[in-house]
Structure 1
Amino acid sequence: MRLRRCTSPCLIAAIAVFATACAGSGTGPDNAAADSLTALPRALTAAERLAITASNDFALRLLQRTTAHETGNVLLSPLSVSLALGMTMNGAADETLSEMQRTLGWGATNRAAINVAYRDLMTMLPSLDPSVTVRLANGIWMLRPMVPDAAFTSEARQFFNAPVTSEASPRAMFDAVNAWGDRETRGMIPKVLRDEPPRDLVMLLANAVYFAGTWRERFDPAKTSPGSFQLEGGATAVVPMMTREGGFRSWRDDRLVAVELPYGNAAYSMLVLMPTKDPVGSFVATLDTARLAQVSQGLRAARGDERLRFPKFTLEGSLELSPDLRALGMPRAFTNGAQFPRLVANESTKLSFVQHNVKVEVDEKGTRAAAVTVVGVVLVSLPLGVDIDRPFLFLIRERLSGTVLFTGVVRNPLGR
């Protein structure tokens, strides 16, 4: 079942919380204070650059796909989805592996390089800005007495820091992942898996991302007041609007207004893109990395008296992403033809679901955001067969005319 839930009248699209490493040049504030990060503390490794390119490519394509068929708010953590599927991809082979690599933006990159890239990116992101909290966690849960593939679990621990836990039943697996996700997101996502687990569930692979950052220059709560927000279709909603002067960067042309709000020491920021003439869905459908770079590189510091009004909101969303991932290019992973020889020892498996829950809170102090992505793995269904193993009637007949030549009732094929 495909679900989505969002709890705000605001339509928020193409809001990105990102590191300077992921956004290219032009992300640090002009005339920055001494504690502002205007460059990365070191040069990116080749693996990190590879991971960022793949992650951003996947981010835009996943956003475009989900926005195309959703009419309300869309919330995603493409990093969380990429990490959960990247960990799962280590168990794939042949066409299934190729489809997952292409879908996640890796192209023909080999497995070893992908693992290093994920590991280095997960090491870098939490360490960039000590004034911002970024937590990344991975885990694997197995149904007892199933045994995970030894090479797969070794790489999961080495590159994704993902421990493997055994549980006695599918329900116990769901409960364990829900408790883990609640803990890793500090209560923001208390329950990611709400439906009944598949009876043939044998493995869950999960990622959690938690972000907490205070604005580099906070909004004054005394200046927050009701304001109009124009909805698609022409109606308006009254929402709490935060207000401040200066402390942000902006960019505009005849079709787009962009605002960047830095957190902490400015390694992380929120980039807001608001199309002024096109529906937001149409804008997202054409957004690419070149356009994003154009905006990022053109941002300029606002004057001290330049006003910004921005909605205060709390949104949460839930999506089962398997239809989108199929459409993006990895359908085989969800079929009986899936090739996952390195997931569960001596068992044929396929993906059943990719559940993705996100919550974002934006107020005068800053932003908290969390996501949990869970990949469900089930046994490949055996081909349907027919067993004639009970008493039966038979008819020998001429098929075209229907003429019956013999009939019989067989209660015991041994003739006794």
Structure 2
Amino acid sequence: MPDILSRSRLQLGRLAVLPLVLAVAACGDGTGPNSGRAVDSLTALPRQLSAVERQGIDAGNAFALNLLRRVAAPANEPTKNVLLSPLSVSMALGLTMNGAAGTTLSEMQQVLGWGTRTRSEINNAYRDLQTLLPSLDPTVTVSLANGIWTRRGSVLDTGFVREAREFFRAPVEVSPSPQAMFDAVNAWGDRETKGMVPRVLTQAPPDNLLMILANAVYFSGTWRDRFDPARTRANTPFTLASGATVPVPMMMRADGFTAGGASIGGSTVMAAELPYGNGAYSMLLLMPQSGSVDALVQQLDTARLGSVVRSLQSIGGAEIGVPRFTLSSSRDLSADLIALGMPQAFSDGAEFPRLIVNETEKIGFVQHAVTLEVNERGTRAAAVTAVGVIRVSLPPSFIFDKPFVFAIRERLSGTILFIGVIRDPRA
């Protein structure tokens, strides 16, 4: 959009934070007005992505936008900030999906975007992505971890355990009780996220909890071109959706980013992308110039996002302003995932034959906790997703295996003919 690209001051006041921080893409060409600054030293991935990996990344981005659309809908979060790590959710559900079969498996595959890919193809793609992402930029820390906690006495399917270890590097830990499982997962998540997510599980554990499958993602990146704290404006007006303004610390700098824009659903959207380190990772920012951010979220899909990304280019002498902020979020995603198309995994008809031997299980919760810090130096972000597997409620049983009273009666009049107590049926 020429009118956007000609702006010398990009005021990203009404910032819409999207869960796309971990985009595997280089940005900028390291020429022009930024030639005196740091440049992108990584301009291509170290290897070509396989067709399955490409599908997985594309599907993961579609899942990210679908999940954002659901969680950020005004009916769900009318005024709150929204923060998600779709990568963490996909990894945790991908691990859980290894134990699924039938309709449960197909629904999970469709929602996560894997379609009809085989279990082997999906597992290999998850494994390779876990290897690729941390290796792209030595100045950026990206770590992914998976784990499984099971209740003492449960016997896990050997094939599931083998694949969890081989493809997800997920060790299995045995806990004596549901509360011990919660405590162990919280301690693990705190450790894997460098203290950014100290407790993913804050509610009381269900008594019928059998297993927890969890993923943790940690990201720490320094801006390729840092913001100078001396230039941060302490009380810059930030316009809320209501039209009211509030003062925020606005980080300011010139150059060192790409910018562009597009028309989405009749609204003009301004965009900017700020790279970290060697350019492999970046933060993409989108802000509607007209209309609301809620409308933008509901209309944003992978095709429209792609048109915005393709519009990005370096603009000499341009200035950018981004609020300094810290954001945390915690949410059970069960209702959201059911709405997106995987209801059976949460129902009594769930099919997880490859998890625990001689048990009938379903997903009881998908607890997701995320923290993000954006400042002049760069960004830290962390997420933990915990999938709780519980015992399916079986049809009620009425077993008279303790002393009982009995009565023989005429049912319509209520007349009791015989009555007694059985304390020992052998007598």
* TM-score normalised to structure 2 length: 0.89
Other-structure match for 1:391: 405
Segments ≥4 residues shifted beyond 6 Å: 413-416
Q: Deviations over 1:152-205 (max 9, x none)?
A: 000000100101111111111111111110110001011111111111111110
- Give the 3 Å change call, closer, same or farther, for CA 15–62 of structure 1 in structure 2: closer
1:62 aligns with 2:67: yes
Secondary structure at the aligned position of 1:174 is classed as: helix
Q: CA deviation at 1:397?
A: 4.2
Q: Which structure 2 residues correspond to residues 37-48 of structure 1 after superposition, within 5 A? A: 37-48=42-53
Does residue 382 of the first structure (1) align with residue 390 of the second (2)?
Answer: no
Q: Write the distance in 2 (CA, Å) between the matches of 1:137 and 1:411.
A: 62
Quick one: structure 1 residues 280 and 393, their matched pair in 2 at CA, closer, same or farther if it must change by over 3 Å?
farther
Q: 1:28 deviation in Å?
A: 3.7
Residue 3 of structure 1 is matched in structure 2 by none
Query: What corresponds to 2:8 in structure 1?
Result: none
Shift of 1:60: 1.0
Bigger Cα displacement from structure 2, 164-173 vs 257-266: 164-173
Question: Where does residue 300 of structure 1 map in the other structure?
Answer: 313
Paired position in structure 1 for 2:416 = 407
User: Contact 2:157–2:357 (CA<8 Å) still a contact in 1?
Assistant: yes
SS at match of 1:411: strand
For the residue of structure 1 that corresponds to 2:22, the secondary structure is strand
Aligned position for 2:203 = 195
Give the partner amino acid of 1:154.
Answer: R
Change (3 A) 1:335 1:61: same
How far 1:114 moved relative to its partner?
Answer: 0.6
For the 8 Å contact 1:30–1:301, the answer to whether it is kept is no
The answer for the alignment partner of 2:274 in structure 1 is 261
In structure 2, C-alpha distance between the alignment counterparts of 1:87 and 1:125, rounded to whole Å: 18
1:295-347 Cα offsets, whole Å, 9 max, x none, are 111101121x2111110000000010000011111111111111000011221
CA contact (8 A) 1:87 1:156 kept: yes
User: Which structure 2 residues correspond to residues 9-28 of structure 1 after superposition, within 5 A?
Assistant: 12-14=16-18, 16-21=20-25, 27-28=27-28
Task: Give the whole-Å Cα distance in 2 for the aligned partners of 1:137 and 1:405.
Answer: 65
The one-letter code of the counterpart of 1:240 is P
Partner of 1:177, secondary structure, is: helix
Q: How does 1:73-222 map to 2 (within 5 A)?
A: 73-222=81-230
1:121 partner SS: helix
Secondary structure at 1:255 match in 2: strand
Pick from 290, 293, 300: which aligns with 1:287? 300
Q: By how many angstroms is 1:40 displaced?
A: 1.5
Separation in 2 of the partners of 1:405 and 1:229?
A: 75
Change (3 A) 1:29 1:73: farther
> Who is 2:3 aligned against?
none
Whole-Å Cα distance in 2 between the matches of residues 327 and 375 of structure 1? 17
Paired residue secondary structure (1:391): strand
Contact 1:103 1:329 in 2 (8 A): yes
Aligned: 1:36 with 2:41: yes
Q: Secondary structure at the residue paired with 2:250?
A: strand
CA contact (8 A) 1:16 1:272 kept: no
Change (3 A) 1:240 1:409: farther
| Corresponding residue of 1:249 | 258
Shift of 1:56: 1.1
What does residue 6 of structure 2 align with? none
Per-residue deviation, 1:98 = 0.7
Q: Secondary structure at the match of 1:370?
A: strand
Q: Judging changes above 3 Å, is the alpha-carbon distance between structure 1 residues 409 and 191 closer, same or farther for their aligned structure 2 residues?
A: farther
**TM-score, structure 1 as length reference:** 0.91
Would you say the 8 A contact 1:137–1:209 is kept in 2? yes
> Which residue of 351, 354, 357 corresponds with 1:342?
354
Q: C-alpha distance in 2, partners of 1:408/1:370?
A: 70
Stretches of structure 1 that go unaligned for 5 or more consecutive residues are 1-8, 399-403
Partners of 2:110 and 2:189 in 1: how far apart?
Answer: 28
Amino-acid identity (%)? 56
Aligned mates of 1:152, 1:167 — CA distance in 2: 19
- After superposing the two structures, state which structure 1 stretch, 81-90 or 271-280, moved more: 271-280
Q: Could you tell me how far 1:42 is from its partner in structure 2?
A: 2.0
Matches of 2:390 and 2:178 in 1, distance apart? 10
1:351 is aligned to 363
Question: What is the identity, as a one-letter code, of the residue corresponding to 1:241?
Answer: M
Question: 1:87-129: per-residue Cα shift (whole Å, max 9, x none)?
Answer: 0000000011011111111111111111111111111111111
Structure 1's 128 and 241: CA in aligned 2 closer, same or farther, altered over 3 A? same
Q: 1:34 to 1:64 in 2, by over 3 A?
A: closer
C-alpha separation in 2, matches of 1:355 and 1:87 = 15
For residues 1-40 of structure 1, the C-alpha deviation after alignment (integer angstroms, 9 at most, x for no partner) is xxxxxxxx9764425213335xxxx734452766521221
Distance 2:40 2:295 in 1: 39
Superposed displacement of residue 48, structure 1: 1.9
Measured on the aligned residues, the alpha-carbon RMSD in Å equals: 2.1
What residue identity is the alignment partner of 1:348?
Answer: T
Q: Taking structure 1 as reference, are residues 234 and 347 closer, same or farther at Cα in structure 2, changes over 3 Å only?
A: same
Q: Is the 8 A contact 1:29 1:266 kept in 2?
A: no
- 1:386, 1:306 → 2: CA distance? 75
**Is the Cα–Cα contact under 8 Å of residues 116 and 159 in structure 1 kept in the other structure?**
yes
Give the secondary-structure state (helix, strand or coil) at the position aligned to 1:410.
strand
SS at match of 1:154: helix
2:337 alignment partner, one of 325, 350, 363: 325
Tell me the CA shift for residue 220 of structure 1: 0.4
CA distance in 1, matches of 2:408, 2:212: 47
How many residues get paired? 398
**Structure 2 residues not aligned, in runs of 5+:** 1-12
